[in-house]
Amino acid sequence: MRKRYLMLFAILAYAIALLFTLPTVQLLRWVDIRPAALSGVGGSVWHGSAEQVQVNEFTATGLRWRFLPARLLFGEVAFGVQADYAGGPAEGRISADWRRQLHLRAFSHRLDARRLVDFMPLPLAEFSGAIRTDLEQLTVEEGALKSVNGKVRWDQATLTAPFQTLLGNYRVDLRTTERGHRAELRGDGGTLGAEGDLRVQQDGRFNAQVALTPTRNAPRELVEQLDFMARRQRDGKYLLRHAGRVQDFW
């Protein structure tokens, strides 16, 4: 009986070793990873790379991964990943568990704000500054966001076109509660102060409110743009509100 168990263990160990040393190109012929698509793949499942990875409209380059076997003790298949997205370095740990949840942990990304123009359908403005995203964790279940905890900072946020002004330093704190997801915005240190709140319920309904406050030395052009966007309140703030469903944007 003992020999039988030892033989079974040896076969299982060999199968696992074969799987993780298998060339990634060969494995991708058998495994469907849609909606992701990899190109320029090299290495193995244990440690490999891809020149490009595309998930829907998002494209990253220089992807590198390494298998993290210790996470198997916690019921997860996990990989440490590094890549370049929108000209900035990104790294973190991605994993899947037995409940079919996908987790992104210890994630960080750096972005030059000059690249924001690439994400605008109508590039009417240009910016500079350093945008930093740090996520402690983000969990997706059945294609929907289940939880998120992290922050986004935009230091020395500057509008460089059509006119130039230092807007300030902005921070967005992200967290999930029993009622849903929440993002809180705070900004100061420049010509445009900001405070806001975005709440997304579990059913996808959201409510956003942002108050923008130009300082006394704000450029005339900036104030004119704010007058076009919203009515000025008695306290000098411009209040923007919007509500809807997240599904309407996908």
pLDDT at position 13:
46
* Sole residue written with tokens 């595309």: 54
CA distance 208 to 234: 21
Q: Determine the pLDDT at residue 23.
A: 56
Task: Decide if 94 contacts 102 (C-beta within 8 A).
Answer: yes
Region 233-250: what's the mean pLDDT? 84
Residue 219 scores a pLDDT above 50 = yes
Cβ atoms within 10 Å, residue 17: 11
Between CA 79 and CA 69 the distance in angstroms is 9
Confidence of residue 30 (pLDDT cuts 50, 70, 90): very low
Q: Going by C-beta distance under 8 Å and a sequence separation of 6 or more, which residues neighbour residue 147?
A: 137, 138, 139, 176, 181
Amino acid residing at 112: D
* Per-residue pLDDT tens over the stretch 55-64: 777 889 998 9
For the chain, give percent helix, strand, coil, nearest 5: 20, 60, 20
pLDDT tens digit sequence for 50-107: 888 887 778 899 989 898 888 888 888 888 999 999 989 999 998 888 888 889 999 9
Q: What integer pLDDT is reported at residue 85 of this predicted model?
A: 92
Domain ranges of the chain: 1-88, 141-250
Q: Is the pLDDT of residue 32 over 60?
A: no
DSSP one-letter code for 35? T
pLDDT tens for each residue of 122-161 = 678 999 999 999 999 999 888 788 999 999 999 999 999 9
- The C-alpha angle with vertex 102 and arms to 98 and 105, in degrees rounded to 5, equals 115
Mean per-residue pLDDT over the chain, rounded: 84
- How far is residue 165 from each of residues 53, 65, 144, measured CA to CA in Å? 36, 41, 38
User: Whole-prediction pTM value?
Assistant: 0.83
Confidence of residue 162 (pLDDT cuts 50, 70, 90): very high
